[in-house]
Amino acid sequence: MADIRTEITIPVPPDDVWRVLLDMEAYSGWNPLVTAVRGAPEPGGTIRIRLKVGTLPPLWVPVIVETFRPGERLCWSFTLPFRILRAEHCFSLSEEPDGSTRFLNTEQFTGLLGGVAGTLMNRFFLDDYRGMDRSLAARVAAG
């Protein structure tokens, strides 16, 4: 198992961050990693996300919404046939004592190719995840 984990503190309450995360039609205006979303995030439902990592061409990926806890956590997963690779991406929000939001952006890779995928993603695309975190913070700050 290999994971990606980035985090950022955003100086607003979690509900403000959550509103931006749920406005998926606006992702193309601020999110450099998940540049578009088709569908509504409902537990067990399928949505399509458009990923843009590094210099690779954008790729549409169908994902299943695994967790949807308003104001707190949104996770979706993608699984290749025969479970040779499963990736679960989560956005987690928690309120800090000063009222700001601690935003965690994680991806867990499992399956036969999980270790390899996680290692490659960390080595070549970790900055893309950090860029998304910074862009989210900027979008929230802009209102």
Query: How many Cα atoms sit within 13 Å of 23 on the Cβ side?
Result: 16
Average pLDDT, the chain: 95
**90, pLDDT greater than 70:** yes
Report domain extents, the chain: 2-142
**34, pLDDT greater than 60:** yes
Each residue's pLDDT tens digit, 2-15: 799 999 999 999 99
Distance CA 85, CA 139 (A): 32
Mean pLDDT of 17-41: 96
Q: Quick one: pLDDT band at residue 54, thresholds 50, 70, 90? A: confident
Mean pLDDT of 114-130: 93
Query: How many Cα atoms sit within 13 Å of 73 on the Cβ side?
Result: 10
Mean pLDDT of 84-94: 97
Q: Check: CB of residue 16 under 8 Å from CB of residue 116.
A: no
* pTM attached to this predicted model: 0.93
**Residue-level pLDDT at 113:** 95
How much of the chain exceeds pLDDT 90, in percent?
94
Listed residue (11, 5, 6) closest to 101, CA to CA? 11
Enumerate residues 6+ apart whose C-beta is below 8 A from 143: none
Distance CA 106, CA 118 (A): 11
Mean pLDDT of 79-84: 93
Enumerate residues 6+ apart whose C-beta is below 8 A from 120: none
Write out the CATH class of domain 2-142.
Answer: alpha beta
Q: Which strands make up the sheet holding 34-38, listed edge to edge?
A: 2-10, 101-110, 86-95, 73-79, 59-69, 46-51, 34-38
**1, pLDDT greater than 70:** no
Mean pLDDT of 95-108: 98
Distance CA 76, CA 38 (A): 13
**132, pLDDT greater than 60:** yes
**Residue-level pLDDT at 67:** 97
